[in-house]
Amino acid sequence: MNNYVKYEVKRCFFSKINLMAMIMVMVSLLIPYVSDCKFPYPNSDGTIFFIRSNIYLLPLLAPIICCLPSSTKYIEDETSGISKFLFIKIKRKDYLKVRLIVNAMVSAFTIVIPQIIMLSFLILRHGINGTEIEVVGAFHEVFFISKIGYIGIVLLVTMLSSIVFSTFSMGLSKVVKNKYLTIIVPFVYVLISGTIFYVFGINDIFNLNVSILFDISYNLYLTIANLLIYEAILLFIGISLFCFWGEKNSEE
């Protein structure tokens, strides 16, 4: 099964749609940076440029980008009949397990690798100094102790959130069974979580805005507990849907 995992990771990670997704991540980081260079924060260093470039377009696009590679590949395999051929060689439970593992790895790499490249470029160009900015939200205390430590948490949370939301999308893909709806449905939820939930005051009680998963400084009152509980809920829903519908389909 290990060889199959390696094969699927390579197939998804080096696919055209994944390369396009990584380019989208890089562009979403470059646009705010270019704009910020015109009117930079006083004495900005590489970490501050990174934080500022990370909070504008990426939180809106990342939930969709992380869903693109694995979910669309999965739907393609289902509709083309490749998955049925694989069931001859491996058990369905093993197939579902591999899909979840591959989805987690590829979605995390897709978002975080461009971030690391961008961060490296910014630090090389602008260095690291003692300049600080106002950072709020979850883990904000860490920033004033260690900017690099805070950046590490940002990357770790982004990686975890990519895994969680792409797993949530994979679960939905089991239900909708359509490559385009697999992207549209999560996108609709992203919009609802930031608008309708806000209008009805749901986010004031417990913040369900998907953007907080990819920007821990999005909300002044965002807590670590809110972030981790929301991650756990989405992950549970995603795995439950994926495995339940997977087993249900195998019985039909």
How many structural domains does the chain have?
1
Domain that holds residue 91: 2-251
Check residue 245 and give its pLDDT. Answer: 67
Percent of the chain predicted with pLDDT > 90: 45
| Structural contact between residues 149 and 142, judged by C-beta atoms closer than 8 angstroms | yes
pLDDT at 54 (0 to 100): 92
Q: Which residues contact residue 16 at a Cβ distance below 8 angstroms, ignoring those fewer than 6 apart? A: none
Amino acid at 85: F
Q: What is the pLDDT of residue 132?
A: 77
Say how many residues make up the chain: 252
> What's the average model confidence in pLDDT over 117-141?
89
Mean pLDDT of 183-198: 89
- Is the per-residue pLDDT at 209 higher than 60? yes
DSSP 219: S
Q: For residue 251, give both structure tokens.
A: 């019985």
37 membership: H or E segment, kind and range: helix 16-38
Confidence of residue 250 (pLDDT cuts 50, 70, 90): very low
- What is the rounded average pLDDT for all residues in the chain? 85
pLDDT in tens, 216-230: 987 778 899 999 999
Q: Which two structure tokens, joined as six digits, stand for 28?
A: 């979403």
Is the per-residue pLDDT at 154 higher than 90? yes
Convert the pLDDT of each residue in 36-76 to its tens digit.
Answer: 888 877 888 999 999 999 988 999 899 988 887 766 666 66
